[in-house]
Structure formats: structure tokens, C-alpha cells
Amino acid sequence: MKKKVLFVCTHNSARSQMAEGLLRALYGDRYEAFSAGIQPSKVNPYAITVMAEIGVDISTHYSKHVDVYHGIRFDYVVTVCNQAKETCPFFQGGEEYLHSDFEDPSQFDGNEDQKLAIFRQIRDQIGRWIEKAFGKKDNKPLIYQFFSRTKKLRWCVCS
């Protein structure tokens, strides 16, 4: 049975969307990937573009609020930015909680090429982190080498 993973960031527009797409592409045989935000907006077109460059289609993804997943059990809840971790640190449906803070590429000012470059950089950082965290073959993430189990506390109530 596949393990369920929920990626959470602020707007569910770039980092969590790329993480969802990468986990499905890399380890979709072992994990079901989902994403949500604490203040959802829309999927950033630069995220769609840089994911398409590596053969991962997230063009049909849409931004969702974390409340959409209330009551659903996840094996892993992963926050990919500090704001999401601070605002919604725990979910009632989460068994394990992981965190890695990635820079928000949508906050970068620059021309088209510069924006694409920063989105590629963040995409690649997320990809390397996913490989380290979820790449082990026995269906238990390598992250266990570094972190111990976090207790379930409550469902996130985000304003």
C-alpha cells in the first residue's frame, strides 16, 4: 500500500506544487503525493514551465487550502516553508511531520530568464531533498536517520 504525503506551503503555488509533482514522478510507485496551502492562490506559471522542462506535468494542478484534507490520514505531512510550519505546525491526520525551508521563488524580482533560473534552482533543491528524504527502497524515508517521530497534536486552524 502506498504511503500518503501532504506537502504544505503558504500559497500552494510553487514549492508544494513542485514537491507534489516531483514525488509522484520519482517515487509514485511508493507514495501518493498531495499539496495544499495556508493561503492558497493559483499555481505559478513559472512552476509549471520548469517542471515541464524535466518532463513533469503539473499544468492541471490547482491551489488548495489545507482544510480540504481535514480528516484524511497522511503518513507524512511536509512543510516546505517556515511560514507554513509556524502557522500550521501539526495536522490531526498526520503520522509523521517533516520540514525543509525552501526560498519562495515567486518573491524574486527579475526578468523572465532570471525568474526561470530561480524557479529551476528551487525545483532542483526540492528534488534533491525528496531523493534524500523519500528515496530509500524499504518504503521508510531516509529522513529517519536525522529526525525522530513528532507527536500528533491538533488539526491546523489557519486564518
Cα(46)–Cα(92) distance, rounded to whole angstroms?
32
119 secondary structure, DSSP code: H
Cell of 53: 522542462
DSSP string for 6-25: EEEESSSSSHHHHHHHHHHH
Question: In sequence order, what are the residues at sequence separation of 6 or more whose Cβ sits closer than 8 angstroms to the Cβ of residue 53?
Answer: 120
- Give the active site residues: 9, 81, 88
Amino acid at 89: P
Q: Residue 17 burial (CB < 10 Å; 0-12/13-18/19+)?
A: buried
Nearest residue to 1 via CA among 107, 122, 139, 137: 139
Task: Give the 3-state secondary structure of residue 73.
Answer: coil
